[in-house]
Amino acid sequence: MNAEIIAVGSEMLTPSRVDTNSLWLTDQLNAMGVEVAQKAVVGDHRGRLAGAIREALGRSELVILSGGLGPTEDDLTREAVADATGRVLALNDTVLEAIATRFARLGRTMAEINKRQAYILAGAEVLPNPRGTAPGQWLELPEGRVVLLLPGPPGELKPLFENEALPRLRRLVPPLAIATLEFRVAGMPESDLDQLISPVYRRYENPVTTVLAKPGDIQVIFRARCATREEAERLVREMGDQVRPLLGDRVYSENGDPLEKVIGEMLLARAATLVVAESCTGGLLGARLTEVAGSSAWFRGGRIVYSMDEKRALIGDFTEDPVSEAVARRLAVCARERSGSTFALSITGVAGPDGGTEANPVGTVWIVLAGPGVVMARRFRFPGERARVRGFAVQNALEMLRRQMCEPVR
Amino acid sequence: MNAEIIAVGSEMLTPSRVDTNSLWLTDQLNAMGVEVAQKAVVGDHRGRLAGAIREALGRSELVILSGGLGPTEDDLTREAVADATGRVLALNDTVLEAIATRFARLGRTMAEINKRQAYILAGAEVLPNPRGTAPGQWLELPEGRVVLLLPGPPGELKPLFENEALPRLRRLVPPLAIATLEFRVAGMPESDLDQLISPVYRRYENPVTTVLAKPGDIQVIFRARCATREEAERLVREMGDQVRPLLGDRVYSENGDPLEKVIGEMLLARAATLVVAESCTGGLLGARLTEVAGSSAWFRGGRIVYSMDEKRALIGDFTEDPVSEAVARRLAVCARERSGSTFALSITGVAGPDGGTEANPVGTVWIVLAGPGVVMARRFRFPGERARVRGFAVQNALEMLRRQMCEPVR
């Protein structure tokens, strides 16, 4: 089966917006053996949108639309699909009631324009959207064509696709067994990693290999598609067994878990806790650790020591440069002592764009890990602008802690 | 003039690849008054690609293709444009020589397949590409249509567009002046805002209005395109003057600045400083404030009081629920007193997915602002999952502080 994805919305045609929904959808579709044959971005223009839908239906079995289901006049996906397929739109009382109930539960009155979101295409199945007002719609057409309407916000689109669209798709697509293996790797540039492992993965058409890189963090995903589950699992295992020794302990998870989750599990297993003392990252390390639900079991909190005063309140008076090994060490040691935590991580550096000196140019960051019987300091020089430097700093702080916990206990 | 951009290449249809060329091109085109009306991504498939080009030429004056100009068999852009326009492709000796010279300069021999890159469409102008082997092509068709073929690598595409395509485009596009006005609005659902202002903006085709929403934050962008700068500026001013009174003090910036930047400027103007005490947001408020370069002039830092121990270390012993007005108040008041800052913001709540109680269901968040002569507490109930609740909490904390600073000093 071939699919096409159309992202709807004039804002998606501006220089600053990227259609990330289609990437996630592509991943989901590929996993069940559906190929994405073409993608489009169309503005809030009924005629253009209807045309794009008509063209896509002429080429591909499945057409997925994301966005344009909002309550305003420029949300035209429903109308455009009606135009392209010749189906009428009718007000659905059940959907209308669900929308009104949702508003009531949040203590608000439903605006009159939200009624537009209760219009459903004739013959379409309503896909309930517990996280938003706009329901999705699943419309099966003659000759096995399907149009799927999904809301644009990723937090609504993803669960709606997983819970409602996937089970319906599985009825239409011949079952294919899939096995995946996802290595997550820290502390290695993407090009170095690729040079290391591409001689292995290039020998295989199946599994397919995808390499994704963020600052200091790489995902390597192997996905095999076979007639049987056993065969698919054997293939990714075979690949993993060859790649694992090449990457060694730089692999921190083999199931796609992010670094903060892996660290949380390691801390939990040791009944250990963590605090932070953050200067240039200003809370970003804490924010990332607390993305993990249940992190209160191992993350205690800490200090955002952005100003000199806040640093002094934690470590007492000092005369050294705030971006120095001495200050970074005292931040970690004092944060640990004051809180009684097992571990403390401190970060102090120059995130830029200003504030660089000859001794500490922009991108210079000290990270210290203090733990039982250990205080470990590292100086980094990260490339790129402010957000990138801060992202690298957080990632490397987490990786220092993970490596320490991998060491045999002394 | 309307443009469409087609990114060519099957790798652009994988879950990990985003078409960033089109963002840069859109910025360039918009700056000269050309709108991007539609975008597409098409794989290395001659029939599909020719179809997409034909469709785009039926709708828009300018069709830009990026990629598919390489030397291999799956680089099919040249052939597809020939199919779509009925033009023949012919080997161009001058181009062939340039390619051979380039290889010789790099000390390499030209592979036979590179000859493919010297095929030029009948009637097209060759756009020399000093950074790569594939030249661009500029093909003017009857009825003022243009097809522009550009190489895919951004390092080749950008200079080629700037040096070769832009001057040619300027001959075709009447000079147009652009003026924009960007309101940023806090504390209002998108549908309420739209109901309020759409009666105004719907009366105008020019300026064009775009409304973008994030949790608790809305951008309203008006863009006018006119023959003169004065006229464009007059139009967005006229629109702004009608919309401003409808939104009142919910507008926090008129130049697109984000809330944290606006707050920083307000604090700086008052020589005031800010600290935070974050529980459920775990550092996210501090992280957002310190996204602003130079924020050390007004942001002091604070405490991440994720655990009970860290809360007690700040406010002393307590018996109340940690998600309560009493605890939230003491967090803010103590954070302010200990640091000597002008303002303190505290956040404590249930971000979910677990931890909800009957009294405090998931999404319940207390936010307190403490300042000179004021301690203000608000209880919120935010919808959605963990990341959304945390995003709303941070946004509403910032908005409480902004509103307080808008009040006349007592």
Which H, E and C letters describe B139-156, residue by residue?
EEEHHHEEEEEECCCHHH
Whether B133 shows a pLDDT value over 70: the answer reads yes
Q: Each residue of A98-148: pLDDT tens digit?
A: 999 988 888 888 888 899 999 999 999 999 998 888 999 999 999 899 999
- Pick the residue from chain A with its C-alpha nearest to B276: A304
To test the contact with chain A by mutation, choose from B2, B11, B307, B331 the residue with the greatest count of A C-beta atoms within 10 A, namely B307
Chain B stretch 161-190, residues whose beta carbon is closer than 8 A to a beta carbon of chain A: 189-190
pLDDT for A250 equals: 93
Distance from CA of B408 to the nearest CA of A (A): 28
Q: Has residue A75 got a pLDDT over 90?
A: yes
Chain B residues touching residue A106 (CB < 8 angstroms): 381, 383
Which of the listed ranges A143-147, A253-257, B154-158, B283-287 does the model predict with the highest average pLDDT? B283-287
- Minimum mean pLDDT among A353-367, B197-211, B341-355, B384-398: which range? B197-211
Q: By CA distance, what is B23's nearest residue in A?
A: A15
- Using the beta-carbon criterion (under 8 Å), do A310 and B293 form an inter-chain contact? no
Q: Does B52 touch chain A (CB under 8 A)?
A: yes
Q: What is the pLDDT of residue A280?
A: 98
**Do B306 and A285 lie within an 8 Å CB cutoff?**
no
d(CA B154, CA A174): 39
Please tell me the distance from the alpha carbon of residue B208 to that of residue A36, in angstroms, as a whole number.
Answer: 33
In a mutational test of the B interface, the residue from A304, A308, A336, A339 whose CB has the highest number of chain B CBs within 10 Å is A304
Q: Are B328 and B278 in contact (CB under 8 A)?
A: no
At A362, the pLDDT band (50, 70, 90 cuts) reads very high
Task: Test B383 with A294 for CB contact under 8 angstroms.
Answer: no
Contacts of B217 in chain A (CB under 8 A): none
Task: Say whether pLDDT at B408 is over 80.
Answer: no
Residue A31 in contact with partner chain B when CB distance is under 8 A: no
d(CA A104, CA A97): 10
Interchain proximity B286–A300, CB inside 8 Å? no
Q: What is the ipTM of this complex?
A: 0.78
Q: Which of 334-353 (B) contact A at CB < 8 A? A: 338-340, 351-353
**3-state secondary structure at position B281:** coil
Q: With an 8 Å Cβ cutoff, are B284 and A287 in contact?
A: yes
The model's pLDDT over B174-230, given as tens digits with 9 standing for 90+, comes to 878 889 999 999 988 888 898 899 999 989 989 988 888 888 899 999 989 888 999
% of chain A at pLDDT higher than 90: 77
Question: Is residue B38 less than 8 Å (CB to CB) from chain A?
Answer: yes
Cβ contact, residue pair B301, A299, below 8 Å: no
Q: What's the pLDDT tens digit per position in B107-129?
A: 878 888 889 999 999 999 999 99
B363 touches chain A (CB under 8 A): no
Q: Does A280 sit within 8 Å of B283, measured CB to CB?
A: no
> Does position B409 have pLDDT exceeding 80, yes or no?
no
Which of B306, B348, B392 is best to mutate for the A interface (most A CBs within 10 A)?
Answer: B306
Nearest-CA distance A197 → chain B (Å): 18
Nearest CA-CA distance, residue A339 and chain B, Å: 7
pLDDT-derived band at A176 (thresholds 50, 70, 90) equals confident
Overall average pLDDT of the A367-389 stretch: 94
The answer to whether A211 contacts B16, with C-beta atoms less than 8 Å apart, is yes
Measured between beta carbons, the chain A residues lying within 8 angstroms of B387 are 155, 291
Q: What is the pLDDT of residue A408?
A: 66
For residue B294, pLDDT beyond 70? yes
A182 within 8 A of A212, measured Cβ to Cβ: no
- Among A42, A52, A113, select the one facing B191 at the smallest CB separation: A113
Residue A16 has pLDDT above 80, yes or no: no
Residue A409 has pLDDT above 60, yes or no: no
Would you state the pLDDT for residue A326?
A: 98
Chain A residues with beta carbon closer than 8 angstroms to that of B289: 282-283
